[in-house]
């Protein structure tokens, strides 16, 4: 992961409080096709991880231009097909280790929207992010590595993910 800097001062006023105080879409929906089309005999096994049927987290999605807030990232991403997700993990939420098979023209960036606290987990390959501040931003240098995230702490963990497709 490549650290790009802190961009908290560039985020829309009130956006973090909005995400903390608003319920997002609860995911995953274990009834959607990708969980039902034979990735394994177990319908909760998808791309290398086991999903407990009671495990979930909240997400706010922005596909091209329909998120409540226009999140800032330090690059011109709007020229590409893209998605911004705000991932909200309450204490006890987690996403087990998995891979998202992506092409070489896919780029991903992550931004902390809450300060690091013990129990807040983001692991990407051999990188374990810790001691970060709200607004710290990284470029994922190898998008196809195994990664996981979770909240084993006592406060809400909030991150923004930007994924762009077709980048040359």
Three-state SS string over the chain comes to CEEEEECHHHCCCCHHHHHHHCCCEEECCCCCHHHCCCCCCCCCEECCEECCCCCCEEEEEEECCCCCCCCCCCCCCCCCEEEEEEEEECCCCEEEEECCCCCCCCEEEEEECCCCCCCEEEEECCEECCCCCCCEEEECCCCCCCEEEEECCCCCEEEEEEEEECCC
How far apart, in whole angstroms, are the C-alpha atoms of residue 45 and residue 34?
10
Q: What is the pLDDT of residue 61?
A: 57
Q: What is the pLDDT of residue 68?
A: 63
CB-hemisphere CA count at 13 Å for 92? 4
Q: Are 128 and 151 in contact (CB under 8 A)?
A: no
From first to last of its 168 residues, the chain has per-residue pLDDT tens of 999 999 999 998 888 888 888 887 776 655 544 444 444 444 444 444 455 554 556 666 554 444 567 788 888 888 888 888 888 888 988 888 878 778 888 899 999 999 999 999 999 999 999 999 999 999 998 888 888 898 999 999 999 988 888 887
**Domain boundaries along the sequence of the chain:** 2-24+56-165
Q: How far is CA 133 from CA 40, 114, 159, in A?
A: 39, 7, 11
Q: What is the pLDDT of residue 57?
A: 60
Please give the structure tokens belonging to residue 88: 């909200």
* CATH for the stretch 2-24+56-165: 2.60.120.10
pTM (global) more than 0.75: yes
Q: What is the pLDDT of residue 43?
A: 40
């Amino acid at each position: 992961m490549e650290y790009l800097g802190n961009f908290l001062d560039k985020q829309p006023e009130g956006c973090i409080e909005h995400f903390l105080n608003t319920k997002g879409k609860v995911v995953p929906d274990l009834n959607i096709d990708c969980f039902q089309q034979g990735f394994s005999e177990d319908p909760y096994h998808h791309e290398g991880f086991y999903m407990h049927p009671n495990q979930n987290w909240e997400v706010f999605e922005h596909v091209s231009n329909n998120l409540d807030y226009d999140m800032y990232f330090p690059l011109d991403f709007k020229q590409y097909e893209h998605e911004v997700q705000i991932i909200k993990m309450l204490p006890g939420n987690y996403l087990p280790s998995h891979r998202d098979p992506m092409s070489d023209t896919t780029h991903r960036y992550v931004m902390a929207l809450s300060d690091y606290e013990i129990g807040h987990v983001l692991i990407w390959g051999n990188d374990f992010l810790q001691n970060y501040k709200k607004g710290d931003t990284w470029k994922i240098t190898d998008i196809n590595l195994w990664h996981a995230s979770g909240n084993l702490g006592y406060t809400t963990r909030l991150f923004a993910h930007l994924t762009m497709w077709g980048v040359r």
